[in-house]
Structure 1
Amino acid sequence: MAEWTPAIVEARLESAADVFRSLPDVKPQGYFNAWPEYFHSFADQVGQEARMRRPKPGPREITQADETLLWLRWLDPADARLVWLRANRKPWKPICWELGISRATANRRWQYGIAVIVWRLNGKRVPSKRSMDFVVAKVTP
């Protein structure tokens, strides 16, 4: 890949969140259901909306999602949580309540987290002596 941008990083994080959301749930081992499977007849389904299921993610998508999740190691735990919550499309208000920060602070820290990931993916070292605004400004066009 030539050059990573914030838009590409955001899309990959959202894609990883979608992959993890669509994986089947882990079921407890050692228990089983003795009840027979109930099949609905046509008469039971008349008037019901058809439910479409998304296909399960393939091995390549799961591997890519795992790699994307490793990017969060480059951030502070609080910033990583914030970036992951936004990748899962959680609204700002519950995020702010959960982390105990204002909306403006949450947005600033989210932009900084994305910028740090972009810096690292492009092979640059994030300067520790510079401000968050400097890091974000160098990434955004």
Structure 2
Amino acid sequence: MDKWTPSLVEARLAEAALVLKRLPEPRRQGYFSTWPEIVHSFADKVGQEPKPMRVLPSPQAISRMEETLTWTACLDPVDGKIVWMRAHGERWKTICWTVGLQRSAAHQHWLYGLCVISLRLNRRRFNRSLSKRKVIELAGGA
């Protein structure tokens, strides 16, 4: 990447959330069944819902996801929670109930989090005592 913008960071976080959702469930080691596999006849399958097809993510997508997981470590816990909830596609109403903020404040925390991540990825220094609005202007998020 030449220059990270808040919108590129948002897209990468959304991709990472999707990859996390598509990963297979972890299995416990050492547990297995000695019973034979049950073969269902056509009559057994009539009226049943088909199993959802699970498409596994590519190794490159998993590598990008692992890199992305570390990005929110530099954020405040509230900002990181808002950024990840938004990446997972949560509605603003649910996010506001979870973190206890109004929608405009939650949106500003989300945008601030994206801007801090983009500034760090671009290796730009900024004063942590700056206001959220100044950081957003500095990163070009507004």
TM-score per shorter chain, which class? 0.7 to 0.9
**In 2, are the aligned partners of 1:120 and 1:126 still within 8 Å (CA)?**
no
Partner of 2:128: 128
Deviations along 1:4-45, one digit per CA (max 9) or x if unpaired, are: 111111110010011111111112333223443233444444
Partner of 1:68: 68
Compute the TM-score of the two structures, normalised by the length of structure 1: 0.86
Q: Quick check: 86-95 or 46-55, which moved more?
A: 46-55
Deviations along 1:76-126, one digit per CA (max 9) or x if unpaired, are: 122111111111111112221111111111111000000101111111013
Map 1:22-101 → 2, pairs under 5 A: 22-45=22-45, 53-101=53-101
**Unaligned 5+ residue runs, structure 2?**
none
Query: What is the percentage of aligned positions where both structures have the same residue?
Result: 46
- Alignment RMSD (CA, Å): 2.0
Mapped partners of 1:33, 1:68: distance in 2? 37
Compute the TM-score of the two structures, normalised by the length of structure 2: 0.86
Amino acid at match of 1:123: R
Mapped partners of 1:29, 1:4: distance in 2? 41
SS, match of residue 136 in structure 1: helix
Q: Quick check: 107-116 or 71-80, which moved more?
A: 71-80
Mapped partners of 1:140, 1:73: distance in 2? 20
Partner of 2:116: 116
Mapped partners of 1:42, 1:10: distance in 2? 46
